[in-house]
């Protein structure tokens, strides 16, 4: 299992964020929001000024691309706790 993040930010912005934050997982750029839209988490004009963003969300996706678990929230400060994600992963392995 590997964490991957997807953002509407440009590849340069994503690269800079990874470097600044010390992320060691891939942060994919999705400036046209196609993937974010397909997962149903596009927040139109989320920061105003016509700039779309992704709603806060976490997904567990299996090797075939099927979403097995998801956590959606309307607040960027509210995320799944690591133990919640680990428990969801354990449940999926049963």
**3-class SS string, 54-91:** ECCEEEEECCCCCEEEEEECCCCCCCCCHHHHHHHHHH
How many residues does this entry show for the chain?
94
Question: Structural domain tally of the chain?
Answer: 1
Q: What is the pTM of this model?
A: 0.71
Convert the pLDDT of each residue in 44-60 to its tens digit. Answer: 877 677 777 788 888 98
CATH number of the domain to which 62 belongs: 3.40.30.10
- At residue 28, the 3 state secondary structure works out as strand
Convert the pLDDT of each residue in 29-42 to its tens digit. Answer: 888 888 888 988 88
Q: Which domain holds residue 30?
A: 5-93
């Amino acid at each position: 299992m590997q964490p991957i993040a997807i953002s509407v930010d440009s590849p340069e912005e994503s690269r800079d964020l990874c470097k600044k934050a010390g992320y060691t997982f891939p942060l994919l750029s999705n400036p046209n929001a196609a993937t974010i839209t397909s997962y149903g988490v596009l927040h139109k004009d989320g920061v105003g000024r016509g700039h779309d963003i992704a709603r806060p969300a976490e997904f567990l996706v299996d090797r075939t691309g099927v979403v097995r678990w998801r956590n959606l929230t309307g607040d960027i400060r509210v995320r799944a706790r690591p133990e919640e994600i680990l428990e969801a992963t354990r449940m999926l392995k049963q």
